[in-house]
Amino acid sequence: MRQIFLLLLLLNVGFFAWQFQKENHVPVEMQKDILPDNTAQRLILISELDAGEIEQIQQAETDQVKAESQQQATQPEPEQDKSFVCYSIGPFTGMNSANEVSLILTESGVTAVTRETEDREHRDYWVHLPAENRLTSARRIVRDLEARKISDIYIVTLENSHFVISLGVFRMEETAQRRYSQFVSMGYTPVIEDRYNVTTRFWIDVKDSDPSLLAPELWRDLTTKFPGISRQENAC
């Protein structure tokens, strides 16, 4: 009986030993992944380098930074898109002419916008007395001036129903100043008013347009029909 017990004990010990070996067994092909690779490079600490090696590393980094900076400096700047242009066509003295050209350009694929401007050109100097509210007051002043042998004066009716005594219109400022001083010395308070000729003109503005749309033959036809117009390049 004792021998049978010992035999069973040995069998159990042997089974547990076999089972433990089976669970912890690693195949050969997997051992290659677990074992360290002797060919891999070992990480080197800065403290393990001598002064000469550290200086070489720093110089290499400096050279690399300089090379990258020079490469960026030598790279050409991107060219601006010059495929579109902006310009103005004119001037036109009438709205109808500007609209006609604008329609022609639109039919050719050009986006055109009509613009109205006013050109002021100095014409002359008007010397007159301050406006009077009543015509009788203006006539009284005229009689007083005529009694002083002052000529070239007349009454002008304004749109607001006021009345102005005109003392003369002069092209030269110096002449207007002499007339002004003459009436100041007589105790009046004259006024010198600059007058202008205002001319309304029309332009056609074209923005971001393909230059090929305004073909040379089209431009030739426009300048023939509307002499005096020109094309002025504008910044887009």
For residue 218, what is the domain's CATH number? 3.30.70.600
Question: What residues make up the domain containing 180?
Answer: 121-197
Domain assignment present for residue 90? The answer is yes
For residue 184, being part of any structural domain is answered with: yes
Asked if residue 196 lies in contact with residue 124, where contact means CB atoms within 8 angstroms, the answer is no
Q: Is 101 found in the same domain as 161?
A: no
DSSP bridge partners of 169: 126
What's the CATH number where 175 sits?
Answer: 3.30.70.1070
Say if CB 204 and CB 213 are below 8 A apart.
no
Cβ-contact 94, 199 below 8 angstroms: no
| Three-class DSSP category at 21 | helix
- CA atoms of 78 and 131, how far apart (whole Å): 66
Same domain, 131 and 159: yes
- Tokens 């109205």 — which residue? 116
Residue 105, both tokens: 């350009």
In a domain, 101, yes or no: yes
d(CA 97, CA 90): 10
The reply to whether 230 falls in a domain is yes
Same domain, 140 and 177: yes
Between CA 211 and CA 98 the distance in angstroms is 20
Distance of CA 150 to the CA centre of its chain: 60
Tell me the whole-structure pTM to 2 decimals.
0.51
pLDDT for residue 34 = 47
Write out the DSSP string of 122-162. EEEEEEEPPPBSSHHHHHHHHHHHHHTT--S-EEEE-TTS-
Looking at the structure, do residues 128 and 167 belong to the same domain, yes or no?
yes
- Residue 112, in any domain of the structure: yes
Q: Give how many domains the chain has, as a whole number.
A: 2
Residue 94's Cβ-side half-sphere holds a number of Cα atoms within 13 Å equal to: 4
Residue 210 sits in the same domain as residue 113: yes
> Within 13 Å, how many C-alpha atoms sit on residue 126's CB side?
14
Name the nearest CA neighbour of 210 among 230, 236, 228.
236
Q: What is the pLDDT along the chain (236 residues), one digit of tens a residue?
A: 555 555 555 665 555 555 555 555 545 555 445 445 554 455 565 566 566 666 766 677 777 777 777 776 666 555 545 578 899 999 999 999 999 999 999 998 998 999 999 999 999 999 999 999 999 999 999 999 999 999 899 999 998 889 999 999 999 999 999 999 999 999 999 999 999 999 999 999 998 888 888 889 999 999 999 999 999 998 87
Is residue 179 situated within a structural domain? yes
Q: Is 210 in the same domain as 107? A: yes
Give the per-residue pLDDT at 177: 97
SS3 category, 27? coil
Amino acid at 202: F
* pLDDT recorded at residue 49: 58
Domain contains 217 = yes
Residue 18 lies in a domain: no
* Claim to verify: residue 125 and residue 192 sit in the same structural domain: yes
Whether residues 127 and 106 share a domain: the answer is no
